[in-house]
Structure 1
Amino acid sequence: MNDQKIRRPRQADIATLAGVSVSTVSRVLANEPGISESVRLQILKVAAENGYPVKPASEAVAGGLALIASDGVTGTLSVFYEAIVDGLRAGAAEAGMPFEVRLVREDRTTPDAVRDYMQTAGAEGLFLVGIDPNESLRDWLQASMTPTVLVNGTDPRMQFDGVSPANFFGAYEATSRLTKAGHRRILHLSGSHRHTIRERVRGFEAAIAAVSGAEGRLVSLALQGSASREAHERTTEALAENAGFTAAFCMNDFIAVGVLEAVTEAGLRVPEDFAIVGFDDLPCAQMTNPQLSTMRVDRAALGREAVSLMLSRFRNRTASARHICQAVAPIPGGTVPNA
């Protein structure tokens, strides 16, 4: 008797068998529009034949719409949000949730505009991805009892469900990697209006305060153009002061790349003379020399958890808001010794 457990087919397996992309499979299983009926039927047929669970129409749940801040995803952070959307799509497909994505400018997320987006998509639930709702939108979402989940977002008032990396604790750990390596004068390059990034600043400050003799300096970035280029310029300015800073914790890996370039150009050795820790574990972290020490954010897991929160909200629209924090794991590299 063979007791070996049979592996459940993945969306990648269905894509290979159907001769389409994984993205197309995800969209079909999530009931997204824009796929030809023949391709849709072929994918559903292959999925059924290979034991991939597809919810019948009678079990379908209410639809969801994800609004994503175009200001971020069309720039260097596109790779960050791409993985979150993959997680959203996968979670929606497994739940049988019709799901659509729309890019919007954050300053245009008015109640009227969002209402129109949702009506066009036939969605009952709203995922705000990388968007902190403004006051008028907050008021409308609450008054209309629209199921809302902040994805990669934090609501300090705890009025909306949300899921985010453990930004405070992740920043605390990142900074602690530097203090444990003996550094006592540390820069933190950051810049954003978002609550999630403010939590990283708080984590940095708390880690500095926890070590006697440690001093931190926040280097605020405008982030109007290339984050790496601006970080390079600001780091060069800081090093020119000869103020004794020997390390930097960076808000994300793109910023860390700019810091590494500036430090190297200044003739400093990394990590012997200057240490660097990034955040997010983006692909660029593996392309630097030495390889960047960073903090990993499981971005696909954020998307899946967001769908779970939405399903719970559909079941009970008056329950207290919940926030899920995903652990942020340290990733060793060559820009911090032994860390």
Structure 2
Amino acid sequence: MSDEKVKRLRQADIATLAGVSVSTVSRVLANEPGISETVRRQILKVAAEHGYPVKPAAEAVAGGLALIASDGVTGGLSVFYEAIVDGLRTGASQAGMPFEIRLVREDRITPDAVRDYMRAAGAEGLFLVGIDPNEPLRDWLQVTTTPTVLVNGTDPRMQFDGVSPANFFGAYEAASRLTRAGHRRILHLSGSHRHTIRERIRGFEAAIAAVSDAEARFVSLALQGSASREAHERTAAVLAENAGFTAAFCMNDFIAVGVLEAVTEAGLRVPEDFAIIGFDDLPCALMTNPRLSTMRVDRAALAREAVSLMLSRFRNRTAAARHICQAVVAVPGGTVANAENM
């Protein structure tokens, strides 16, 4: 075939000859994932037969497995993790990374179980989504140098890569929104079961300490059933004391919904008599009356960063661990006075 004829060949011509769309030809020639091997081979065969220049195939990417605690995603937090899972799937697909997900009981995550999960999935990398690895698992992951990324997780020892919201600074800003609105006796409803949540506790306490006449009460939640119901009951009990609290910072928006219900039932006006701020910006924040003031966590961005960390770890398995914090953004609402202007 003459050089002149090769130059005239277009992707549209290959598409016609292969019986596929132009966009499919474009994706195959760019070595993008998501095309069946049968179609890919056919397009490359047509291109080769007609002298169309084809880039070398990209190096195969190792597979990844995401483990997610089933007691979290099948309960109230399912909506939180849904966006993370979608982001992991999308990011893995774009990177050409084979990817699978397993729901697991967190109290049954042993090294042997994780090894079997990874073998069955053909995975080399492990995403722990909302899971803090226990000591036996930590030791096994380090001994085997298994590429591991904590998603919505923090490793205080900095032995594993991780990505999380800026929990400390997000909670600091949330508490500051309340103190700037004039509140000085503030409730903090939370649990302390994970490193990420303990960072929120530290951020809240730092913001209170920064205001000389501010004080707070920590209301510890067991979080074993409905977070909203438990928050409702605990808040009602505190309000019955008439201890002068006028605001609450809540670990997440589900808790904030329960607080709002208790405050309303007590005959208090929101935000005039009592202010409430949540965290995460979940769909329920749009359904309250007034609309909940909260802090937005970009879950899809967390997932994209997690895939990026895993790809970097595949390339260099002995590099120092990295942790990426995503900014937490204030979302105006009607449960904190003048929050939109703060």
TM-score class, shorter-chain normalisation, is 0.7 to 0.9
Say whether residues 1:83 and 2:83 are aligned partners: yes
- Distance verdict in 2 for CA 1:244–1:308, change over 3 Å: same
Instruction: State whether residues 30 and 99 of structure 1, in contact with CA within 8 Å, keep that contact through their aligned partners in structure 2.
Output: no
Where do 5+ consecutive residues of structure 2 fail to align?
1-22, 25-31, 44-54
Query: Cα distance, 1:56 vs. partner?
Result: 8.7
Which residue of 2 is the match for residue 112 of structure 1?
Answer: 112
The RMSD of aligned alpha carbons is: 2.2
SS state at 1:171 partner: helix
Aligned AA (1:103)? L
Q: Is the 8 A contact 2:33 2:95 kept in 1?
A: no
Q: Secondary structure at the match of 2:336?
A: coil
Match of 1:152? Answer: 152
Map Cα deviations across residues 298-334 of structure 1 (whole Å, 9 max, x no partner): 0000001000000000010000000000000000000
Q: Would the aligned equivalents of 1:152 and 1:196 in 2 still touch at CA under 8 Å?
A: yes
Structure 2 vs 1, CA of residues 242 and 288 (structure 1 numbering), >3 Å: closer, same or farther? Answer: same
Quickly say closer, same or farther: Cα 1:188–1:56, change in 2 above 3 A: farther
Cα distance per residue 1:49-96 (max 9 Å; x no partner): xxxxxx997532000000001110000100100000111111111110
Change beyond 3 A, Cα 1:114–1:94: same
Mapped to 1, the partners of 2:321 and 2:56 lie a distance apart of: 30
Query: Quick check: 1:294 aligned with 2:289?
Result: no
CA distance in 2, matches of 1:57, 1:251: 47
Shift of 1:267: 0.1
Q: Determine the C-alpha separation between the residues in 2 that align with 1:276 and 1:124.
A: 44
Change (3 A) 1:29 1:235: farther
Amino acid at match of 2:98: P
C-alpha distance in 2, partners of 1:76/1:181?
A: 30
Matches of 2:229 and 2:149 in 1, distance apart? 33
Matching of residue 318 in structure 1 with residue 313 in structure 2? no
* Residue aligned with 1:330, SS: strand
Shift of 1:275: 0.1
Do the aligned partners of 1:271 and 1:337 also contact (CA within 8 Å) in 2? yes
1:60 corresponds to:
60
Matched AA of 1:221: L
How does the TM-score come out when normalised to structure 1?
A: 0.84
Aligned to 2:166: 166
Relative to structure 1, is the Cα distance of residues 102 and 57 closer, same or farther in structure 2, using a 3 angstrom cutoff? farther
Contact 2:185 2:245 in 1 (8 A): yes
In the alignment, the residues of structure 2 paired with residue 266 and residue 57 of structure 1 have an alpha-carbon distance, to the nearest angstrom, of: 66
Matched letter for residue 150 of structure 2: L
Aligned counterpart, 2:236:
236
Counterpart Cα distance in 2 of 1:176 and 1:30: 46
Under a length normalisation based on structure 2, what TM-score does the superposition of the two structures give?
Answer: 0.84
Q: How far did residue 211 of structure 1 move?
A: 0.2
Q: 1:30 to 1:224 in 2, by over 3 A?
A: farther
Q: Contact 1:252 / 1:280 at 8 angstroms: preserved in 2? A: yes
Aligned positions, number: 298
Q: Which runs of 4+ in 1 moved over 4 A?
A: 28-31, 55-58
Amino acid at match of 1:314: F
SS of 1:59's equivalent in the other structure is coil
Q: Distance in 2 between matches of 1:71 and 1:194?
A: 14
Q: 1:227 to 1:29 in 2, by over 3 A?
A: farther
Separation (CA, whole Å) in 1 of partners of 2:57 and 2:188: 51
Q: Aligned to 2:137, what secondary structure does the other structure show?
A: helix
2:245 equivalent in structure 1: 245
What corresponds to 2:143 in structure 1? 143
Q: Tell whether the 8 Å contact from 1:59 to 1:96 is kept in structure 2 after alignment.
A: no
> Is 1:198 aligned to residue 207 of structure 2?
no
Q: Give the structure 2 partner of residue 282 of structure 1.
A: 282
C-alpha separation in 2, matches of 1:71 and 1:110: 16
Equivalent residue, structure 2, for 1:133: 133
Residue in structure 2 matched with residue 97 of structure 1 by the alignment:
97
